[in-house]
Amino acid sequence: MNESILTGTTENAAITGDYTALVLYIIFLYAFTFILSWAVGRFLQQFSELFSKDRVTIKMMIPLIKIVFYCIATWFAFTAILDPSYTETIAFFGLFGAGLGLGLKDLLANIIGGIVIIFEKPFQVGDKVAFSDYYGEVSDIGLRTTRLVTPSDDVVTIPNFQIFTSPVSSGNFGSTAMMVVTDLYIDTNSDYSRAQILVRETIASSPYVIISNDFPYTVLIHSFPFYHRIRAKAYVTDHRYEFEYQSDLYQRAWNAMKNENIHPPPYPGVLMDDLSGKGGLIGNPVHKGIDMS
Amino acid sequence: MIHIYRNQNGDSTTQTCILGNDVPLYESRVCEILAHIRKPGDFRTPPKIAIISPTSYSRTIVADCLSREISILVRNINFSGNETLLPDFEGFFDEHAVYICEECQYLYERRPHGFDLLRSFLSSLVTNSRQVITTWNQYSWNFLCGFLHIERWFPIVITLPLLTLPELKQYLLPERKDEIRFTIDIDLDNTLEFVSKDLDVNIASLNLAFSIPYITIQRRYASFIPLLADKEAIPEELIFREIHRLSAGEPGIAREIFQNAMVEEEIRFSRLPKPSQIPDLDAIDIFVLTLILMYESPVYSRLNESVNDKAMLNSSLYRLVSAGLIMRKEDMWSVSFEGFSSVVEYLKQRRMIW
């Protein structure tokens, strides 16, 4: 590497115009930073999977480490180019900031949004979040965008500025355990008290659920004109089991309720009288799998 | 004769308890239970008592001691045997006797309709004036506390604690202590390890007691003996330390390990089992392991009722047996002695038990 350039004697460089070493140095610097942050991120991703309880906490560190790495690399690049004095540094950042602020307003807004997300932590990597029409697990919080993996394995990339300025709900907020709300609907002629007990027992029988004083469960009944709603709220051991748990709950609960003559309501729009005595043929009118309320 | 020190409403009281028979373990707990049992001429409604412990060994010891100590008629009922023992509990407590109902965790199954028998039992329990003492697996009890708030049916809950190393040593070493030889016949892995400890702080003037957790590094075996790190350690101390580590202080598990390691009055370190390593388990495997730990010796059909999928259950049992975490005895499955502490630690970390 051309030492004269790095030591700040820019006169020679200006005269000779030989910036090859400097450019190579900066390219190498950012390539190295990219590889290092990727490797550390990858390592922490794999490492976090070894832990059930602390997985999300470990993943939280990934974006923070990436930002630190890139800040250090930028500082090295900056000093290699200019080797500025204190006054020059202040002046540079002032002008740089103003220039970027005008020219790259949206990009900066996204970057600032990313930094705010990292420090304010409205959600973290590994959380299940609902934003606008999207719901999924946060796989990455980058400087410009945040990525979600939806239940159908689609990757959704959302600019940080949008997340920063809109409401986001986090289902587990840094914990692997997450409350899952599942609704079942039964007709008005069915014994809803017995149905409530059976749903409770189904929750207790699920392999995916934690029941303890710290993670209580509840089963609530709400009566509507043509049906009763049974709302089951319970914590799954890992938010990744959300849909397995719901599927297990539906299957076991309906099997148990079928044996006790508890039936789903008829479809909306069909008169109850027409179907009296013909229960057991109709499925749930509404499957509300995800309810963040 | 032992003295019980109890602290109720901030007052310390002393009671004298005279036991007619030898009690190998938990003397103070036996005395505490006896103090709650209604005496002739006492017209109080006796409180229902629950005795809980991680394995049946210590509960059975206490229940047997109580049977011997109670002078009036005692009815012993054990629910661990026949799965279809009792259709309902109507008139179950009609006889004038003290009832000792053991292994009550078998009264429920983790499936829909699986708690009806337990509800019936609890209902009949609180609608009679008999003295009833029940024993439960600790992990099942904790689960039922979360699910049913079962503690509401039992004003007196006696927890049999795990033993400390000196207590365990005292219990395991028989009277012929001097005849037993302890031998370290293998090279011990004396590498460094991280150990979590608690520093107990007691400020008497402020009536404040708390502990500060910290992590320290020490040698795996040698430094267990104070001032003997890197020197020759006492074989007896090392062997008991290892038994305590493997059993987590559970007397039944420790006794099995101790007896299995003894050959002709000699206990060799090499005969102590290696702690089981937990492989990567999925949700169903963890659930099956939890069920086995909660019931202690469930039969296959009971597990199948909960898992509801024979192929999945067989696959889980195969994986758990292969890893040395569980073992089969006839039709019953139980956690292996060498796997006990690892399984408890693992399931606690997964929040399946607490």
Of the candidates A198, A237, A259, the beta carbon closest to that of B351 is on: A237
**Residue B176 touches chain A, beta carbons under 8 Å:** no
- Residues on chain B touching A217 (C-beta within 8 angstroms): 147
| B89 to chain A, closest Cα gap in Å | 20
From residue A279, give the alpha-carbon distance in Å to each of A189, A193, A261, B133. 10, 18, 9, 46
The answer, yes or no, to whether residue A152 has pLDDT greater than 50, is yes
- Residues on chain A touching B111 (C-beta within 8 angstroms): 201, 205, 252
One-letter amino acid at A177 equals A
| A291 to chain B, closest Cα gap in Å | 23
**Residue B348 touches chain A, beta carbons under 8 Å:** no
- Residues on chain B touching A177 (C-beta within 8 angstroms): 351
Asked whether the beta carbons of A94 and A144 are under 8 A apart, the reply is no
**Residue A236 touches chain B, beta carbons under 8 Å:** no
B298-323 residue pLDDT tens: 999 999 999 988 999 999 999 999 99
Segment (H or E) for A162: helix A160-165
Q: What is the distance between the terminal CA atoms of chain A, rounded to a whole angstrom?
A: 60
- Residues on chain B touching A201 (C-beta within 8 angstroms): 111-115
Residue B235's pLDDT is what? 80
Residue B289's pLDDT is what? 95
| Number of Cβ pairs < 8 A linking chain A and chain B | 62
Of the candidates B308, B349, B351, the beta carbon closest to that of A177 is on: B351
Predicted confidence band at B151 (pLDDT cuts at 50, 70, 90)?
A: very high
Of the candidates B147, B350, B354, the beta carbon closest to that of A52 is on: B350
Residue closest to B114 by CA, chosen among A204, A236, A250 = A204
Q: Mean pLDDT of all residues in chain A?
A: 78
Asked whether the beta carbons of A206 and A248 are under 8 A apart, the reply is yes
The answer, yes or no, to whether residue A96 has pLDDT greater than 50, is yes
B28-77 residue pLDDT tens: 888 888 888 877 667 777 889 999 999 999 999 999 988 888 877 888 88
| A73 to chain B, closest Cα gap in Å | 35
CB–CB contact A253 B349 (8 Å): no
The answer, yes or no, to whether residue B4 has pLDDT greater than 70, is no
Q: CA A157 to CA B208: how far, in whole Å?
A: 53
CB–CB contact A244 B111 (8 Å): no
| H helices, E strands: number in chain A | 10, 9
Q: Tell me what the mean pLDDT of segment B217-237 comes to.
A: 62
**Residue A193 touches chain B, beta carbons under 8 Å:** no
**Residue B287 touches chain A, beta carbons under 8 Å:** yes
Q: Tell me what the mean pLDDT of segment B175-200 comes to.
A: 74
Distance of alpha carbon B295 from its chain centroid, rounded?
12
The answer, yes or no, to whether residue B285 has pLDDT greater than 90, is yes
The DSSP secondary-structure symbol of B90 reads: T
From residue B312, give the alpha-carbon distance in Å to each of A207, B284, B304. 12, 8, 9
Both tokens assigned to A53: 């309880």
Asked whether the beta carbons of B64 and B99 are under 8 A apart, the reply is no
One-letter amino acid at B274 equals K
Summarize chain A as % helix, strand, coil (round to 5).
Answer: 50, 20, 30
SS3 B40: coil
The DSSP secondary-structure symbol of B25 reads: S
SS3 A79: helix
Q: CA B113 to CA A198: how far, in whole Å?
A: 7
Q: Tokens 């000699």 identify what position?
A: B266
The answer, yes or no, to whether residue B15 has pLDDT greater than 90, is no
Residue closest to B292 by CA, chosen among B271, B261, B323 = B323
The answer, yes or no, to whether residue A290 has pLDDT greater than 50, is no
Instruction: Report residue B76: phi and psi, to 5°.
Output: -100, 130
* Beta strand segments in A50-176, E: 128-131, 134-141, 145-149, 155-159, 168-170
CB–CB contact A215 B351 (8 Å): yes
Query: Which has the minimum average pLDDT: A207-211, A268-272, B28-32, B184-188?
Result: A268-272
Q: CA B90 to CA B124: how far, in whole Å?
A: 7
**Residue B26 touches chain A, beta carbons under 8 Å:** no
Predicted confidence band at A78 (pLDDT cuts at 50, 70, 90)?
A: confident
Residue B175's pLDDT is what? 62
Angle between helices B310-322 and B283-295 (to 10 degrees): 80
Instruction: Report residue A216: phi and psi, to 5°.
Output: -75, 160
SS3 A50: coil
The DSSP secondary-structure symbol of B234 reads: P
B142, B147, B291: which to substitute to probe chain A, counting the most A Cβ within 10 Å? B147
A189-218 residue pLDDT tens: 889 999 999 999 999 999 999 998 888 999
Residue A287's pLDDT is what? 34
User: DSSP of B46-62, one letter per residue?
Assistant: PPPEEEEESSHHHHHHH
The answer, yes or no, to whether residue B223 has pLDDT greater than 60, is no
Distance of alpha carbon B230 from its chain centroid, rounded?
35
Residue B233's pLDDT is what? 60
Predicted confidence band at B6 (pLDDT cuts at 50, 70, 90)?
A: very low
The residue with greater pLDDT, A279 or A59, is A59
Asked whether the beta carbons of A190 and A218 are under 8 A apart, the reply is no
A100-144 residue pLDDT tens: 667 667 777 777 777 777 777 788 888 888 888 888 888 888 777
Pairing of strands B49-53, B131-137: parallel
Q: CA B222 to CA B225: how far, in whole Å?
A: 6
- Residues on chain B touching A259 (C-beta within 8 angstroms): 113
Both tokens assigned to B199: 């520093």
Residue closest to B101 by CA, chosen among B139, B58, B141, B132 = B132
**Residue B307 touches chain A, beta carbons under 8 Å:** yes
**Residue B312 touches chain A, beta carbons under 8 Å:** no
**Residue A205 touches chain B, beta carbons under 8 Å:** yes
CB–CB contact A52 B349 (8 Å): yes
Strand partners, B5: B14
Of the candidates B112, B283, B349, the beta carbon closest to that of A53 is on: B349
Asked whether the beta carbons of B32 and B133 are under 8 A apart, the reply is no
Residue A225's pLDDT is what? 83
Q: CA A155 to CA A172: how far, in whole Å?
A: 20
The residue with greater pLDDT, A282 or B344, is B344
| B354 to chain A, closest Cα gap in Å | 8
Query: Which has the minimum average pLDDT: A40-44, A212-216, A238-242, B206-210?
Result: B206-210
Q: Tell me what the mean pLDDT of segment B285-310 comes to.
A: 92
Residue B9's pLDDT is what? 45
Of the candidates A238, A241, A256, the beta carbon closest to that of B113 is on: A256
Residue B222's pLDDT is what? 57
| Cβ-proximal residues to B313 (8 Å cutoff; 6+ apart), any chain | B284, B288, B300, B303, B304, B307
Cβ count within 10 A of residue B207: 7
Query: Which has the minimum average pLDDT: B6-10, B73-77, B84-88, B180-184?
Result: B6-10
Query: Percent of chain B, pLDDT > 70?
Result: 85
- Residues on chain B touching A205 (C-beta within 8 angstroms): 110-112, 114, 306
Chain B residue with CA closest to A195: the answer is B112
- Residues on chain A touching B307 (C-beta within 8 angstroms): 207
CB–CB contact B112 A212 (8 Å): no
Of the candidates A205, A215, A216, the beta carbon closest to that of B112 is on: A205
Segment (H or E) for A24: helix A20-48
SS3 B180: coil
Predicted confidence band at B351 (pLDDT cuts at 50, 70, 90)?
A: confident
Instruction: Report residue A90: phi and psi, to 5°.
Output: -60, -45
Residue A169's pLDDT is what? 83
Predicted confidence band at B221 (pLDDT cuts at 50, 70, 90)?
A: low
- Residues on chain B touching A53 (C-beta within 8 angstroms): 349-351
Predicted confidence band at A170 (pLDDT cuts at 50, 70, 90)?
A: confident
Cβ count within 10 A of residue A238: 21
Residue B3's pLDDT is what? 45
**Residue A204 touches chain B, beta carbons under 8 Å:** yes
Summarize chain B as % helix, strand, coil (round to 5).
Answer: 40, 25, 35
CB–CB contact A252 B145 (8 Å): no
Asked whether the beta carbons of B191 and B162 are under 8 A apart, the reply is no
CB–CB contact A207 B307 (8 Å): yes
Of the candidates B115, B146, B350, the beta carbon closest to that of A213 is on: B146
Asked whether the beta carbons of A158 and A134 are under 8 A apart, the reply is yes
- Residues on chain B touching A211 (C-beta within 8 angstroms): 143, 146-147
| Cβ-proximal residues to A167 (8 Å cutoff; 6+ apart), any chain | none
Q: CA B6 to CA B31: how far, in whole Å?
A: 11
Angle between helices A86-103 and A55-82 (to 10 degrees): 120
| Cβ-proximal residues to B148 (8 Å cutoff; 6+ apart), any chain | B115, B118
Segment (H or E) for B282: none
Residue closest to A128 by CA, chosen among A167, A166, A174, A62 = A174
CB–CB contact B146 A216 (8 Å): yes
Residue A194's pLDDT is what? 92
Q: Mean pLDDT of all residues in chain B?
A: 83
Residue A20's pLDDT is what? 83
The answer, yes or no, to whether residue B255 has pLDDT greater than 70, is yes
Residue B1's pLDDT is what? 41
